[in-house]
Chain A
Amino acid sequence: MTEPMDRAEESALWRHWRAAVVNAAGEAAPGPDPLLLAAYAEHRLSETAAEVVEAWLVRHPEAIADVLAAGDSNAGSRPIQPPEAALGRAMGLVPDPDPKVVPFRRPAGPQVPVWRVAVGRIAVAASLLIVSLVGFTLGTDAYTSLLNGDQPTSVLSQDLFDPPSGIFSGFGEESSS
């Protein structure tokens, strides 16, 4: 566009003017919001609105690359493939309002009629009753036969109150001798 000598001179002129006017003015207004910058990148702004963005870009030249990159974002360049872990972390930022929790249910067995259940329970109750009655009868018979004197009373009472001789009795005898 210009000769190197001219370019150096022009660059110096611009820097001189910038230092005196742009930098000296300080920060004036807050920057444009991302949507305004995006609209600028797509050249959708009116001349007046674009001037505001351009004045801000002169003070923030680092954002010029953002505008250029944003303009290129629709160019169909191949995006980077993000790792699945990073995708999972980002997806986890929004919780599922209706989590699909499957309630635990017992596996459904064959349908048993109510009468069969009732008969089963009655049978269990009846067998318990029979066992109790038989046990009571046997105990009563044994007691009655003891009272009728099949064995001497002294033997019976000795069996009842004296502990049977066991291994400890032999051990005690050895220790005493």
Chain B
Amino acid sequence: MADAIDVRALTAGSKAHWDGFVRRYAGLILSAVRSLVREGTEAEDVLQEVFVRLCKDDFRLLKTYDPARAGLSTWLTIVARSTARDVQRRHRPPQSALDDVPERLLAVVDVHAEPLKLPKDLLSPRQQLVLTMLYERDMDVADVAKTLGVDPQTVRSTHHKAMLKLRAHFGPERQ
């Protein structure tokens, strides 16, 4: 979808531009939150919440958008999904997967009297993200590559190097 919306006129409060903006991007916002909320009333509530956020406080959020840095559709998708998650948090009791809770919080007795001395910079953020996507989000290599904007071979290579480091570090501990 080509982003041909005059953001300056939009944030100046032009009613005609706002109406055009709503008509053009409401469908994209609904598509973006489809996997997070139920279709129907809940999705429409999120849609309204997104537009409220965009125009609240004299279009404060919309004024932060810079077309030179990202496309409007991309930015709106991020805003819409973030809003949907916030709405979910408000309406549903907080839950967290058991795997997401640190072990020290689950342990009845802290068996680690001395914390493990692990080098925090053993893995680069990129390597950590690749492992997170592969082992926690169960994404395939193609999707990981698409998310990072690299080719699949680079993902495999990053994964391989990260595993070598982990094995080298934990190898002596396990023996």
The interface of chain A, by Cβ under 8 A from chain B, is 1, 10-11, 13-25, 33-35, 37-39, 41-44, 50-52, 54-55, 57-58, 61-62, 64-71, 73-74, 76-77, 79-83, 86-87, 89-91, 93-97
What is the bound-complex CA distance between A10 and B32, given in angstroms?
Answer: 33
What is the bound-complex CA distance between A149 and B132, given in angstroms?
Answer: 129
In the complex, the answer to whether A80 meets B125 with C-beta atoms within 8 Å is no
In the complex, the answer to whether A57 meets B132 with C-beta atoms within 8 Å is yes
Q: Verify if B4 is at the interface (C-beta below 8 Å from A).
A: no
Interface size class of B (residues with CB under 8 A): 35 or more
Whole-angstrom distance from the CB of A84 to the nearest CB of chain B? 10
In the complex, what residues of B have CB within 8 A of residue A86's CB? Answer: 26, 44, 47-48
Contacting A42 at CB < 8 Å: which of B70, B102, B135?
B70
Whole-angstrom distance from the CB of A15 to the nearest CB of chain B? 7
In the complex, the answer to whether A10 meets B128 with C-beta atoms within 8 Å is no
Given A69-B32, A91-B18: A22 touches B128 (CB 8 Å cut-off): yes
What is the bound-complex CA distance between A16 and B116, given in angstroms?
Answer: 11
Closest to B64 in A: A35
In the complex, the answer to whether B147 meets A34 with C-beta atoms within 8 Å is no
In the complex, what residues of A have CB within 8 A of residue B135's CB? Answer: 10-11, 14-15
**Interface class of chain B by DSSP:** helix
Whole-angstrom distance from the CB of A154 to the nearest CB of chain B? 89
What is the bound-complex CA distance between A163 and B123, given in angstroms?
Answer: 122
Q: What are 10 A-B contacts defined by CB distance under 8 Å? A: A10-B135, A17-B169, A35-B75, A41-B77, A54-B129, A69-B77, A70-B81, A71-B146, A80-B31, A91-B19
In the complex, the answer to whether A35 meets B99 with C-beta atoms within 8 Å is no
Within 8 A of A (CB), among B8-30: 13, 15, 18-19, 22-23, 26-28, 30
Given A24-B115, A34-B82, A70-B32, 18 more A-B residue pairs with CB atoms under 8 Å apart are A17-B118, A35-B75, A39-B69, A51-B125, A54-B125, A57-B129, A64-B133, A65-B137, A66-B77, A68-B146, A69-B81, A73-B32, A91-B18, A93-B51, A94-B19, A95-B15, A97-B13, A97-B15
Whole-angstrom distance from the CB of A72 to the nearest CB of chain B? 8
In the complex, the answer to whether A79 meets B70 with C-beta atoms within 8 Å is no
Whole-angstrom distance from the CB of B21 to the nearest CB of chain A? 9
In the complex, what residues of A have CB within 8 A of residue B116's CB? Answer: 20
In the complex, what residues of A have CB within 8 A of residue B132's CB? Answer: 14, 18, 57-58, 61, 64
Contacting A24 at CB < 8 Å: which of B28, B77, B102, B166?
B102
